[in-house]
């Protein structure tokens, strides 16, 4: 069942009027593959570019984007987040791992905010490092988990 279509097949926002507010969380992850020559610029846990500290800037951009999800995705409800946290690390494959966790007490889910936050943080890493190499790949963005609402989800 596609929830964003009315009986006539036209796009519509999901009506959450009769739903009860509940605490909801979601975590999404984006992975950025970076050439070794770019990762060599890792200093003090953050990449340094001519534009400044890459990870710190990406965290701020991701949080700002998560807060604007309702403006970016046409049928998303505008939500005032209770919290949004982005972490960035380097995994054993030398990939940049960006996790965004968002939470709210509301009548609708928060997964899109987490996905947008992780995605925009990844795009910010790309933007800030492209002067060093265009051989940067945003490998994937996926929902890791969500709680609240009709059912929880946890990617094993």
* Cα–Cα distance, 146 to 102 (Å, whole number): 9
Q: DSSP string of 98-144?
A: EEEEEEEEESS--HHHHHHHHHHHHHHHHHHHTTT-S--EEEEEEEE
Query: Nearest to residue 115, comparing CAs of 29, 14, 24?
Result: 29
CA distance 134 to 59: 21
Q: Which of 6, 15, 127, 152 is catalytic?
A: 127
Buried b (16+ CB within 10 A) or exposed e, 84-115: bbbebebeeeebbbbbbbbbbebbbbbbbbbb
Q: In the annotation, is 127 catalytic?
A: yes
**Helices 54-67 + 111-129 axis angle, to 10:** 150
What is the set of active-site residues?
Answer: 127
């Amino acid at each position: 069942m596609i929830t964003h279509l009315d009986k006539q097949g036209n796009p519509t926002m999901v009506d959450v009027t009769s739903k009860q507010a509940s605490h909801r969380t979601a975590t999404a992850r984006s992975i950025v593959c970076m050439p070794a020559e770019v990762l060599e610029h890792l200093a003090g846990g953050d990449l340094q570019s001519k534009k400044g500290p890459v990870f710190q800037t990406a965290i701020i951009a991701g949080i700002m984007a998560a807060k604007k999800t309702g403006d970016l995705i046409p049928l998303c409800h505008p939500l005032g987040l209770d919290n949004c946290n982005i972490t960035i690390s380097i995994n054993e494959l030398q990939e940049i791992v960006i996790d965004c966790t968002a939470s709210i007490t509301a009548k609708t889910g928060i997964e899109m905010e987490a996905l947008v936050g992780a995605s925009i943080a990844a795009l910010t890493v790309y933007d800030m490092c492209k002067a060093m190499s265009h051989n940067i790949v945003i490998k994937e963005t996926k929902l890791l988990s969500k709680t609240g609402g009709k059912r929880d989800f946890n990617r094993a």
